[in-house]
Amino acid sequence: MFNSASRVTAAHVRAVDGDIGPVEDLLFDDRNWVIRYLVVDAGTWLAERDVLISPYSIKQPVGHDGVIDVALTRRLIRSSPPLDIERPVSRQQELAFERHYHYPAYWDGGGRWALGAMPYPSIAPRPQADREQASIYPADMQLRSAEQVFGFEIQASDLGIGQVQDFVFDDESWQVRYLVVDTRSWWPAGREVLIALPWVDRIDWAGQQIHVSLTREQVRCSPAYQDVACIHRDYEIQLHANYQRPGYWA
């Protein structure tokens, strides 16, 4: 099922024994574009503190009626490793986080999530001694803030085509599938359109630009995006056909 970053950041997180707080941001890895954590403001009961929530603990459906339920207690969250939201999350912090919750390190095992494609917490973590040696965090992978990417310019092969407004992701695998791009900065009659992640050629993180080998004319002919409810397989087939790109489902 598809979901959007804007829908998740408008939701509250609820533990099995009470409210945790509103979602402030999403952190994704910039190698696979998989959402790894929700950043949640728990300040109403944890003295102005933000906490990380992993998709390993999130129940389905995600964000129904503005609430994200997690299979955690407030006590377990209260004792989780401290987070300084003003600084990037370090590898050491991530290791401390997954040890606290007894989750497998998502970068171990070759799948999107340790040994699988979905974040199933039932995967038994390796013994501690083995994990110390096996937990090799890819050196070229970083966690990025979704909120910071919103507003990045999309540069096509001829000219700019707009700014990133949102992410669309699969809320079972938590992999980002599409960027939502607002085209009205250059096209007065424009609209929001979807750009699939495989169509991205390179990203200039410092310059806040995402480069794609598409044209403005292709964007003009792209089917309009309304919200995640409009994304179905026929829509995706039409979208990929417009850009003459194969579908990820093929």
User: What is the predicted pLDDT for the residue at 134?
Assistant: 46
Q: Identical fold at 2-143 and 150-242? A: no
Burial class from Cβ neighbours inside 10 Å (0-12, 13-18, 19+) for residue 64 reads: exposed
User: What are the pLDDT digits (tens) for 141-169?
Assistant: 899 999 999 999 999 987 899 999 999 99
User: What is the predicted pLDDT for the residue at 124?
Assistant: 46
- Among the residue ranges 13-27, 31-45, 77-91, the one predicted with the least confidence is 77-91
The tokens describing 148, both together, are 């910071």
pLDDT tops 80 at residue 135: no
pTM over 0.85: yes
The rounded mean pLDDT for the chain is 90
Contacts of 130 (CB under 8 A, 6+ apart): none
pLDDT band at 192 (very low <50, low <70, confident <90, very high): very high
Residue 145 phi, psi dihedral angles, 5° rounding: -90, 130
Q: Which of 66, 65, 5 is nearest to 38 (CA)?
A: 5
The tokens describing 52, both together, are 């990380």
The dotted CATH code for 150-242 is 3.90.50.10
User: What is the predicted pLDDT for the residue at 44?
Assistant: 82
User: What are the pLDDT digits (tens) for 61-74?
Assistant: 998 889 999 999 99
User: What is the predicted pLDDT for the residue at 13?
Assistant: 97
Q: Is the CATH code 1.10.3720.10 the one for domain 2-143?
A: no
User: What is the predicted pLDDT for the residue at 85?
Assistant: 76
Mean pLDDT, range 176-181, rounded to an integer: 98
pLDDT tops 60 at residue 38: yes
pLDDT tops 80 at residue 110: no
Q: Where are the domains of the chain?
A: 2-143, 150-242
Distance CA 46, CA 111 (A): 34
User: What is the predicted pLDDT for the residue at 100?
Assistant: 94
Total length of the chain? 250
If one compares 49 and 195, the residue with the highest pLDDT of the two is: 195
Distance CA 85, CA 168 (A): 24
pLDDT tops 90 at residue 55: yes
pLDDT tops 70 at residue 30: yes
User: What is the predicted pLDDT for the residue at 158?
Assistant: 74
User: What is the predicted pLDDT for the residue at 120?
Assistant: 76
Over the Cα atoms of the chain, what is R_g?
Answer: 19
pLDDT band at 132 (very low <50, low <70, confident <90, very high): low
User: What is the predicted pLDDT for the residue at 129?
Assistant: 46
